[in-house]
Amino acid sequence: MEIYNSLLASMPLADMATAFWDSTLPGKAIVIILFLGSAAAWTIMWTKGVQLRFASRTTADFLEAFRSESIPTMLHAEGEEYPGTPLNAIYKAGCEALGAELQAHGIDPSDLSMGDEAAEAHRHLTLNQLETLRSVIDRNVADEALGLEDQMGLLATAVSAAPFLGLLGTVWGVMDAFSGMAQAGSAALSAVAPGISGALLTTIVGLIVALPSMVGYNMLSAHIRRISVQMDNFSQEFIAEIQNTYVIEA
């Protein structure tokens, strides 16, 4: 029990609370802003982490299903959906664009799920049409990459702005403390110590906000880069399968 009490006494929470009440009004406002920013950063890290983990699992499932089919458009024709992965939107847009190009040659898009022999009869795409499909797929890859990056800018802002905001509060508080000392005409440390303690609190809180945000930002960015590489690789694989199945042989 004595050890527990000594640990509680050694924790800086009480000192931080005292420093908060000793700080000036601008210092209190900055600390509150930093706490709100911390809550927003943790919310982004949690929701983004859940989204990316789910996207990774469904991406693996989608790639396994796609590579198990002999016809690249089979999953789309059968109506299978993998909404958690960005590859699903890329694949769907590519299949719809392919169906539109083949429909121009009088082929019903619903016939794209037929077997290898029927697929041979669907070789009507030219290389120019293949480039059109490539443009559609690349555009959707870029759109999905932007979706993965959503809200990451706010997290990056928390990483870079929190320390500077804390430093602003510290400089402001120290300036007020020395100004009060000059007005009181006393150079005693006891006269300025509470104000300086409250001023330094903003730097501490700024670092508390910035450090977890920086770690979370780096981990999420690495996860996003991994999924982005998977999207690029899939787009190249999908285009190659379309070319092998539907493009007129020279």
Which pLDDT does position 187 carry in this prediction?
58
Determine, yes or no, domain membership for 201.
yes
- Any domain includes 11: no
What is each CA distance from 226 to 39, 56, 79, 145, 229, in whole angstroms? 27, 9, 27, 11, 5
pLDDT tens per residue across all 250 residues of the chain: 455 455 444 445 446 666 666 667 777 888 889 889 999 999 999 999 999 999 999 999 999 999 988 888 888 878 788 888 999 999 999 988 888 887 776 665 555 555 454 455 556 677 888 898 999 999 999 999 999 999 899 899 989 999 998 888 888 877 777 776 666 666 555 556 666 777 778 888 889 899 999 999 999 999 999 999 999 999 999 999 888 888 776 5
205 part of a folded domain = yes
- pLDDT of the residue at 115: 46
Q: Which domain holds residue 207?
A: 22-246
| Residue 194: inside a domain | yes
pLDDT computed for residue 17 by the predictor: 63
Total of domains in the chain:
1
- What pLDDT is attached to residue 55? 93
Q: End-to-end CA distance of the chain: give it in Å, rounded.
A: 85
* Cβ count within 10 A of residue 196: 20
Q: What are the residues facing 247 on neighbouring strands?
A: 125
Q: Are 172 and 24 within 8 A, CB to CB?
A: yes
Q: How many CB atoms lie within 10 A of CB 151?
A: 15
3-state secondary structure of 125: strand
The neighbour count for residue 69, using CB atoms within 10 Å, is 15
pLDDT at position 91 is: 93
In a domain, 79, yes or no: yes
Using the structure block, give the residue that is written with the tokens 């960015």.
221
Query: Residue 38 domain-assigned?
Result: yes
The predicted pLDDT at position 31 comes to 85
Rounded-to-5 percentages of helix, strand, coil across the chain: 85, 0, 15
pTM for this entry: 0.80
In a domain, 91, yes or no: yes
Residue 1 lies in a domain: no
Q: Is the dihedral of CA 195, 200, 205, 209 positive or negative?
A: positive
